[in-house]
Amino acid sequence: MSSQFANRDSRFANWLDMHLLFCIMSYMKPQDVLITLKIISFNSDDWRIIDIAYNLHLSSSEVHDGINRLHQSEIMHMRKHVVKSHFVEFLIHGIKYCFPAILGMKSRGILTTHSSEFFKKIISDKKMDNYVWPSENGNATGISVNPLYKSVPEFVQKDRFMYEYLSYIDAIRIGRKRERAYAEKQILKLLR
């Protein structure tokens, strides 16, 4: 009789292991935010995984897995359409908790958050510290901020849409009240 319980216990343990593995694999990852933004930037349902991978410097399998996670988290519907209201809600209310910014030492890099050109309308204080994504190709110096994903500094210089919205996202992750409010307002424009 004890072997009967042992068998049942091992089946339960296997089920639990598979369930935990599924849960771990289904969590959103930072690159999923990039994938979603890129799909929105295409402004069409006529996109291919290989195009997203190329533009974001990701592998096709990373994009495919990301799309599956986005579908599970209900940010994508039918693996082709972004549910923009869910995505914007996540960006405004959840991203700074899921993917917090880590500030580092002064570094050379690409301007982000309130330091980027997209905040010129509201920021006129020249005494504020610059924030940068570390990059040898950058032309500014400032406090380093970890980008959402390591490939961000590689592609933002060629993709204005991604650069703009990733700067807004960084403002939500590390900005003060004024910068966060402006970034939220700009991110809400994604709903249009």
How many other C-beta atoms can be found within 10 angstroms of the C-beta atom of residue 183?
26
Let me know whether 67 and 33 are in one domain. yes
Same domain, 112 and 49: no
Q: What is the pLDDT of residue 192?
A: 74
Cβ–Cβ < 8 Å for 135, 110: yes
What string of H, E and C letters represents the secondary structure of 106-127? EEEEEECHHHCHHHCCCCCCCC
Residues 123, 124, 130, 132, Cα dihedral to 10°: 50
Give the residue from 95, 126, 158 where a domain finishes: 95
Q: Are residues 37 and 89 in the same domain?
A: yes
For residues 122 and 186, state if they share a domain: yes
Strand pairing partners for 142? 107
Q: 187 and 123 share a domain?
A: yes
Same domain assignment for residues 125 and 62: no
If you average pLDDT over residues 67-93, what whole number do you get? 90
Q: What is the pLDDT of residue 108?
A: 96
Residue 116 shares a structural domain with residue 42: no
Q: Which of 42, 76, 95 is the last residue of a domain?
A: 95
- Across the range 160-178, mean pLDDT stands at 94
Among 71, 95, 119, identify where a domain stops.
95
Specify the 3-state DSSP secondary structure of 73: coil
Q: Are residues 86 and 154 in the same domain?
A: no
Q: How many domains are contained in the chain?
A: 2
Q: Which residues pair with 103 in a beta bridge?
A: 145
pTM: 0.84
Helix boundaries (H) for the chain: 2-26, 30-42, 49-56, 60-72, 84-93, 95-98, 152-155, 160-174, 177-188
Same domain for 180 and 153? yes
Q: Give the mean model confidence (pLDDT) for residues 104-133.
A: 87
Q: Are 71 and 114 in contact (CB under 8 A)?
A: no
**Residue 170: band (very low, low, confident or very high) from pLDDT cuts 50, 70, 90:** very high
Same domain, 31 and 111: no
Say whether 103 sits in a helix, a strand or coil: strand
Residues 91 and 164 in one domain: no
Closest by CA to 187, choosing from 115, 109, 85, 99, is: 85
pLDDT at 5 over 50: no
Query: Which residues constitute the domain of residue 169?
Result: 100-191
Question: What is the mean predicted confidence (pLDDT) over 33-49?
Answer: 93
Q: Are 89 and 6 part of one and the same domain?
A: yes
Residue type, 126: K
Cβ neighbours of residue 152 under 8 Å, at least 6 residues apart? Answer: 34, 133, 166
